[in-house]
Amino acid sequence: MKAVEFHLPQDVDKSFIVFRETGDFFPAPWHYHAHYEFVLVNKSTGRRMVGDHIGYFDEEDLVFIGSLLPHVWVNDPVYLQRQAPDKADALVLHFTNDFLGEDFMNIPEIENFKKVLKLAERGMALRGETREKINTLIRQMPDMNGLQRLSSLFLIFDIMSVTTEYELLASPRFVQNFYYDSSERFKRITGYIMENFDKEISLSEIAAVGNMGVTAFCNFFKEQFRVTFVEYLTTVRIGHACKLLSQNDRNVVEVAYECGFNNLANFNRQFKKLKDMTPSDYRKTLHIHS
């Protein structure tokens, strides 16, 4: 599944892009681009793939996708066969890291939102009141003048900066260059995890990599990654499993042990918990993108 790079057109009198995607189905292939992207589905249902995450979308679905993260929305057969009662319809918002100038992301007021941009490198499915508020703002944008649109975008940034109503999509393994903190300590920690995830890694071992005690490490890791070390390690392993499963040259048992799981039952349980399907079903689902 080779992703296609998209270069998105932009009006000279606008600093960011808002457009409606409508038709019998969503036509874009498996692709990526330099822009950050909000995708709000107004009408239609189907499956979306963001990195190595496969999920389902319907009306009101809202996802925030980081720069260069591959993704695709695949409509259900009723849309692909042009038998749906309504057209597929979505609103899409794109902006770049420097859409207001090279120094914009360095101003102190944007500091909290920069952390969200890091999270978005894995893709974020928004939930609850956060989704409702942002969906309302995005739907109003096409009819706004320039300053109103920019003001609404800043409101979205503000909402995103404080929300906890989201699900991260692609695994850390898929986004290997993803760091919440650029310090040498975190480069050592994440680098060690990526190099040794297929082996047993104890808390004392990984804490020593960061020159920290176990308790301090656990608190620091949870604060920065918003998940525990064990949860993070599991997502790395499952992400690598997805890659191996897509290659179709290993059976499920081999994949489980190559990813650091000591028994098949635990692998299947953790895989289904994160991907909402079995490893075998995941492999079958990949065929829709081939």
- Comparing CA positions, the residue from 233, 172, 221, 160 lying closest to residue 197 is 233
Please list, in sequence order, all residues whose beta carbon lies within 8 angstroms of the beta carbon of residue 137, skipping any fewer than 6 positions away: 152, 155, 156
**What pLDDT shows up at residue 180?**
39
Q: Model-level pTM?
A: 0.67
**What pLDDT shows up at residue 102?**
81
Among 78-82, 102-106, 163-167, name the one with the lowest average pLDDT.
102-106
Contact (CB, 8 A) for 173 and 216: no
Q: At what angle do helices 184-196 and 229-247 cross, to 10 degrees?
A: 50
Per-residue confidence at 12, pLDDT binned at 50, 70, 90?
low
DSSP state of 106: G
Mean pLDDT value of segment 101-117: 88
- Comparing CA positions, the residue from 187, 193, 280 lying closest to residue 241 is 280
**What pLDDT shows up at residue 205?**
95
Per-residue confidence at 284, pLDDT binned at 50, 70, 90?
confident
Q: What's the token pair of residue 242?
A: 């997805």
Question: Which carries the bigger pLDDT value, residue 14 or residue 13?
Answer: 14
What stretches of the chain show up as alpha helix (H) in DSSP? 77-80, 111-119, 128-140, 146-162, 184-196, 203-209, 214-225, 229-247, 252-258, 264-275, 279-285
**CA 65 from chain center: how many Å?**
6
Round to whole Å and give the CA distance between 31 and 188: 31
**What pLDDT shows up at residue 26?**
92
Q: Which residue type, as a one-letter code, is found at position 270?
A: Q
Per-residue confidence at 226, pLDDT binned at 50, 70, 90?
low
For the cut 90, the answer to whether the pLDDT of residue 41 exceeds it is yes
Q: What's the token pair of residue 224?
A: 């920065």
Question: Which carries the bigger pLDDT value, residue 242 or residue 120?
Answer: 120
Q: At what angle do helices 214-225 and 229-247 cross, to 10 degrees?
A: 60
Per-residue confidence at 171, pLDDT binned at 50, 70, 90?
confident
For the cut 50, the answer to whether the pLDDT of residue 62 exceeds it is yes
240-251 tens-digit pLDDT: 888 888 776 778
What is the chain's mean pLDDT, rounded? 86
Collapsed DSSP state (helix, strand, coil) of residue 59: coil
Mean pLDDT value of segment 141-164: 93
Mean pLDDT value of segment 140-144: 92
Round to whole Å and give the CA distance between 110 and 122: 20
